[in-house]
Copies of this chain bind each other. A is one copy, B any other.
């Protein structure tokens, strides 16, 4: 499992609350890893019990308290050890592709509409990633240097989304020709 370790990697950058971490999954990191807030809280509990993170409660006026988590030395050690281990090759699982695969069993229009719906969502996702890229490009050189590797993951997200959109257009053309 990698969620625990993903959280450690994020906490190694700077301390954060469970809420912050789950919000982070809606940003650039969200492109290649995801978790619901429930799962984040569950894993933070497990990480605390394992001694890999600890937290301080921060009282807030007008808002609920925040538990600010930080990585411990043991956590940092566990993280670097994990980082050095070989990663499993990503297993792609996409229900839309199954629906296209079996698309002859339903009306072409339904399939087209669904692909178009996904196109819109992917376009949104691409726009978000490009906006994050603009933020990166606005940084000065020294700041960029420390973000070199995260930027590579962002670039992958952008190229993957662009590739997807290009393919979806071809898809719609082929299905149109059939009608």
Residues of chain A touching chain B, judged by Cβ–Cβ distance below 8 Å, are 2, 5-6, 9, 12, 29, 31-34, 79-80, 83-84, 86-106, 110, 114, 117-118, 121-122, 146, 148-150, 152-153, 155-156, 159-160, 163-164, 166-167, 170-171, 174-175, 178
Question: How many whole Å from A1's CB to the nearest CB in chain B?
Answer: 9
Q: Are A97 and B171 in contact (CB under 8 A)?
A: no
The residue on B at minimum CB distance from A151 is: B174
Q: Are B93 and A79 in contact (CB under 8 A)?
A: no
Instruction: Report how far A80 CA is from B105 CA in the complex, Å.
Output: 6
Instruction: Report how far A27 CA is from B170 CA in the complex, Å.
Output: 23
Q: Decide: A106 near B88, CB < 8 A? Known: A94-B32, A149-B101.
A: no
Instruction: Report how far A134 CA is from B134 CA in the complex, Å.
Output: 41
Q: Which B residues are in CB contact (< 8 Å) with A9?
A: 98, 101-102, 105
Q: Which B residues are in CB contact (< 8 Å) with A160?
A: 92, 160, 163-164
Q: Are A105 and B83 in contact (CB under 8 A)?
A: yes
Q: Decide: A153 near B83, CB < 8 A? Known: A2-B95, A12-B105.
A: no
Q: Are A96 and B101 in contact (CB under 8 A)?
A: no
Q: Are A103 and B33 in contact (CB under 8 A)?
A: no
Q: Which B residues are in CB contact (< 8 Å) with A94?
A: 32-33, 90
Q: Are A98 and B6 in contact (CB under 8 A)?
A: yes
Question: How many whole Å from A64's CB to the nearest CB in chain B?
Answer: 28
Q: Which B residues are in CB contact (< 8 Å) with A163?
A: 159-160, 163
Q: Are A100 and B152 in contact (CB under 8 A)?
A: yes
The residue on B at minimum CB distance from A96 is: B87
Q: Are A93 and B90 in contact (CB under 8 A)?
A: yes
Q: Which B residues are in CB contact (< 8 Å) with A159?
A: 163, 166-167
Q: Which B residues are in CB contact (< 8 Å) with A101?
A: 9, 29, 32, 149-150, 153
